[in-house]
Amino acid sequence: MPPARYEEHVMAPHATSALLSPDEALRARALKVIPGGMWGHMNVARLPPGYPQFFRSASGCRLWDVAGTEYVDLMCGYGPVVLGYGDPDVEAAAAEQRGRGDLMTGPAECQVELAELVVETIPHADWVLFAKNGTDAMTACVTIARAGTQRRKVLVAKGSYHGAAPWCTPSLAGVTAEDRAHILHYDYNDIASLERAADEAGRDLAAVLVTAFRHDVRRHQEAPTIAFAQAIRRICDAAGAALVLDDVRAGFRLHIGGSWEPYGVRPDLCAWSKAIANGHPLAAVTGNDRFRDAAQQVYVTGSFWCSAVPMAAAVATIKKLRATDAIATMETMGHRLREGLQQQARAHDLQLRQTGPVQMPMITFDDDPDFVLGHRFVLEALRRGVYMHPWHNMFLSTAHQAADIDRVLEATDGALKQVAGLADRRQPAKATP
């Protein structure tokens, strides 16, 4: 599939501004002053035409586009929102800190409070550093692992996303071979390929990087097998390398102590971001005492990394996640969604494939390599007021309550009916009993 171009989504060449919708008008303005109109994962040219690019507001699990259309949002800002948009407790803590100071010449008291809370909440963590983005946190993990081991090679699973820096970005534009010189690949959940890559790295193995589960785009999601998780731990221990868990996406959605706690496999270093401050910009690296000295030696920082408001928001977020059993709530709602969809798929005679943890669902169709059915499904859901993604995992928050899930299911029932019509036309030779 060729990458869609933003321009094609904006307007026909003859359209005049008087005929443009508010979203189209903004996109036309954006095209003149932002390369391609939009960068990165939120560029809706990546989605089937029909998605709004710009939003006016958000609250709880609802989003409003610039035309005022309301959606139940199943993306949560691509992950950062875990307690719902504008959670009152988080925003009160943020506002209180903002009244006293945000970006100052040094950190606020709440930085220490947050560090204590993180170390108390996450069993593998003996210490924590804060940053802004998941990419910062993953890059710092690699740097700390290399500093601590005095080695260079880093094992990365093929297709795993770790961020947008040259060493890991999925696009090779502007990336040199030297940027990737010490990166070796293995296949997720494939112990033999892991062992081969570790052998190749030999005595130069600094770290094995692994995402909490296999949440690659455009394919079904996979939990790590316990044997795979244990194999990584064993290889790292035997080689004296660092097990780096990338919990940027799944962190605080699967387990409050880190996504691999249920496996009994703990990382040496772990990257966090997305959900830790309920939408406020913050990332973290947690680590154990083996890497404390290395974490002290490396120079990692940023102009905004010590802003106090996101840290106050993170304290409130983590306290609320712990106090309200938030993960269980998201799981309950995730099951409600998955079972509802399963019933609907059966009723419409569709092979719906639901993978990933229920609170981070991926929904695709079997035998739909070009996402023809998937695109139709999400567009029909969008028309019915539900914002879904055809090939990236989605996210639930604690703001998604039973009534919201039922609202989603109402939309998906109508959407699946349309998809079923399309699927029938694609397979005219379907056997009749």
Tell me how many degrees the CA angle 151-175-269 measures, rounded to the nearest 5.
35
Smaller CB distance to ligand PLP: residue 37 or 134? 134
Nearest residue to 100 via CA among 307, 376, 330:
307
Residue of 45, 115, 248, 265 interacting with ligand PLP (CB under 6 A): 248
Residue of 10, 138, 382, 423 interacting with ligand PLP (CB under 6 A): 138
Q: At what angle do helices 110-121 and 308-323 cross, to 10 degrees?
A: 30
Contact 101, 108 (CB under 8 A): yes
Backbone φ and ψ of 178, nearest 5°? -65, -35
Stretch binding ligand PLP (CB under 6 A), from 58-66, 86-94, 133-141, 406-414: 133-141
Q: How many residues bind ligand PLP (CB under 6 A)?
A: 13
- How far is CA 385 from its chain centroid? 22
To ligand PLP, the closest distance from the beta carbon of 320 in angstroms equals 21
Which positions from 207 to 246 touch ligand PLP by CB under 6 A, shown as an x/- string?
A: ----x----------------------------------x
273 binds ligand PLP (CB under 6 A): yes
Tokens 């009993």 belong to: 433
To ligand PLP, the closest distance from the beta carbon of 8 in angstroms equals 26
133 binds ligand PLP (CB under 6 A): yes
279 binds ligand PLP (CB under 6 A): no
How far apart are the C-alpha atoms of 127 and 144, rounded to whole Å? 13
How far apart are the C-alpha atoms of 180 and 190, rounded to whole Å? 22
Residue of 46, 146, 162, 407 interacting with ligand PLP (CB under 6 A): 162
288 binds ligand PLP (CB under 6 A): no
139 binds ligand PLP (CB under 6 A): no
How far apart are the C-alpha atoms of 358 and 360, rounded to whole Å? 5
To ligand PLP, the closest distance from the beta carbon of 133 in angstroms equals 3
Stretch binding ligand PLP (CB under 6 A), from 158-166, 285-293, 337-345, 362-370: 158-166
User: Three-state SS for 355?
Assistant: strand
Smaller CB distance to ligand PLP: residue 133 or 364? 133
To ligand PLP, the closest distance from the beta carbon of 136 in angstroms equals 7
Tokens 């139940």 belong to: 72
Name the DSSP letter for residue 268: S
Q: In the complex, which residue's CB is closest to ligand PLP? A: 134
Residue of 53, 97, 111, 135 interacting with ligand PLP (CB under 6 A): 135
To ligand PLP, the closest distance from the beta carbon of 159 in angstroms equals 11
C-alpha distances in Å from residue 160, one per residue of 7, 186, 218: 29, 10, 12
Strands 62-65 and 362-365: unpaired
How far apart are the C-alpha atoms of 159 and 306, rounded to whole Å? 32
Smaller CB distance to ligand PLP: residue 164 or 420? 164
To ligand PLP, the closest distance from the beta carbon of 310 in angstroms equals 12
Residue of 153, 249, 389, 400 interacting with ligand PLP (CB under 6 A): 249
User: Three-state SS for 317?
Assistant: helix
Task: Mark 104-119 as b/e (b = at least 16 C-beta within 10 Å).
Answer: eeebbebbeebbebbe
Q: Which residues bind ligand PLP (CB under 6 A)?
A: 133-135, 138, 161-164, 211, 246, 248-249, 273
